[in-house]
Structure 1
Amino acid sequence: MSTITRNALQSSYPPKEHKDFNANQPKTIRLYPLSNYTFGTKENQPEEDPSVHARLERLREHYQEHGMRRTCEGILVCHEHNHPHILMLQIANAFFKLPGDYLKPEEDEIEGFKARLNERLAPVGSQFSGEGVNDEWQIGDTLAQWWRPNFETFMYPFIPAHATRPKECKKLYFIQLPASKVLSVPKNMKLLAVPLFELYDNTQRYGPQLSAIPHLLSRYNFEFMDESGNVVAITPGTGPKGSAPQTQVLTGGDQDTPATMNGDTQ
């Protein structure tokens, strides 16, 4: 009996047979365990702007010179206890952000996005070596587009009717993580692994963009892999029993300081 079948039959009552219900689904995504990845730190990357006002003023200057700003961020997914977790950054023990940033005016979208991911997450120098260090980012589907209609903090998942010239568009991409990879974050940031159930309907803590991620990922089916590369659970279904998933600080920041909970408003 296969591992997948065993997991589906853990209950003393076998599941009911049902008709196939996978029409027009996108491809099934393989998720690898958090333990497959190596995490480190690198030099600080201070924020460019000392205040929200300064950030919006820089946006205004960018718009006047180059037009709408293009921002790319990545949804990096792994699993712990067969439940999807999102890798995200926490800055100043307060604000949560996905890896990525705005593109330079002259940059190609995908190549520029890869450069931003490397700035945030790639190891530097000889800090690490071996398989998984220099693997190129696999940029997947665009899962969401958020629009900033004016020079203000609010962004929307649509262009308001009165806005004909949005000032910024932020695209969220699905990033397919390989079986293993080395990730390093600036020392002034934390890298967190946040379970989907923690994000769901939690706008007060994470803001509207991050709390919408479970909705964005619901279009996919997942295969959950173990450290040896075997499929141990699939969607739908459950895997082996274990500890309840929870947000984990992977590296960076002052890990002894409790996190305050404010969503990203950038």
Structure 2
Amino acid sequence: MSTITKEASQSSYPPILPKDFNGNQPKTIRLYPLSNYTFGTKDAQPEEDPSVLARLKRLEEYYQVNGMRRTCEGVLVCHEHNHPHILMLQIANAFFKLPGDYLTQDVEEIEGFKARLNERLAPVGTQFTGEGVNDEWQIGDTLAQWWRPNFETFMYPFIPAHVTRPKECKKLYFIQLPRSKVLSVPKNMKLLAVPLFELYDNTARYGPQLSAIPHLLSRYNFEFVDENGQVVACTPGSGLADGSRPQTKVLAGGDEDVKMEPNGDAASDHTLS
């Protein structure tokens, strides 16, 4: 830490507050601490396709019968040390993806998406009881739309000019997590809490879709709430609560710790869903 930064952080002088700078701002989002949530595991959910080629082939078969495929994924946000973290899945110690999946052709968008979230993250049976077990998902704003113009892996945040019939549209929604909630992850996956700074400008590891999430969330102001329900920081904040550095945490699932080395081989499942 530089001398200037250190002196500023320890200064006894009050900060100089600017005039109001919140014009046309979306509502402030309240984030609850990671420690408020309970995490468990449930039966494995194997992937439908053994390879990328097989998945693209299934997409083509779907398109021939039903037209463009609709995919929904959720951006679930909480905080650790007053820094936003995104809950995401890691599959086979290699691929990262947001919770959600494609919708069948006959279901309504939001209700179908809630069912997909429950399939991935809802506890089963009597594994957990009490507050936060069966709380309804609060589906917020659409944050982004990604388009697959052809039966290929790459998706775009726009429809290319020459494309009139995209093969898939993937929507990312902001999920407002309640004060507490119980989540269960399939045993063959891991549920991670990934800080925004880890995602930012990190397409090499997470791909263009996941690394864009910090940009998508920058439109919001956040209030950071502690375990006692008190707002302890807000945007713009005062830095980390206790000087700790946020880092990716494995919350549930998997047999090994996630590898987050700078040149690791972990990658995003940004190509398919």
Same fold per TM (> 0.5)?
A: yes
| Counterpart-to-counterpart distance in 1, 2:23 and 2:258 | 47
Matched with 1:215 is 215
| 3-state SS of paired residue (1:214) | helix
Residue 17 (structure 1) shift = 2.7
Are the equivalent residues in 1 in contact too, given 2:250–2:258 (CA < 8 A)?
no
**TM-score, length basis structure 1:** 0.95
Residue of structure 2 equivalent to 1:84: 84
Long gaps (5+) in structure 1: 1-8
Q: Distance in 1 between matches of 2:233 and 2:47?
A: 40
Superposition map of 1:93-172 within 5 A: 93-172=93-172
Cα RMSD after superposing both structures: 1.2
8 Å Cα contact 1:249/1:255 also seen in 2: no
Aligned AA (2:106): E
C-alpha distance in structure 2 between counterparts of 1:198 and 1:263, whole Å: 13
How big is the shift at 1:163? 0.6
Return 203-212 or 240-249, whichever deviates more: 240-249
Q: Percent identity?
A: 83
Report runs of 4+ in structure 1 exceeding 3 Å deviation: 256-260
Shift of 1:263: 1.9
- Deviation readout 1:229-263 (Å, 9 max, x if unpaired): 00000000225223100000001011346464112
Q: Whole-Å Cα distance in 2 between the matches of residues 258 and 78 of structure 1?
A: 22
The match for 1:205 is 205
Aligned length: 258
Q: How far apart, CA to CA, are the structure 2 residues paired with 1:222 and 1:237?
A: 9
- Equivalent position of 1:261 in the other structure: 266
User: Which residue of the partner structure matches residue 234 of structure 1?
Assistant: 234
CA distance in 2, matches of 1:167, 1:240: 46
For residue 59 of structure 1, report the CA deviation from its aligned partner. 0.3
| Structure 2 SS opposite 1:209 | helix
In 2, distance between residues paired with 1:11 and 1:141?
Answer: 39
Aligned residue for 1:12, secondary structure, equals coil
| 3-state SS in 2 of match to 1:204 | helix
1:33/1:226 contact within 8 Å kept: yes
Which amino acid in the other structure matches residue 169 of structure 1?
C
Matches of 2:51 and 2:26 in 1, distance apart?
41
Structure 1 Cα separation of the partners of residues 193 and 17 of structure 2: 35
Q: Which amino acid aligns with 2:83?
A: H
Gaps of 5+ in 2: 1-8
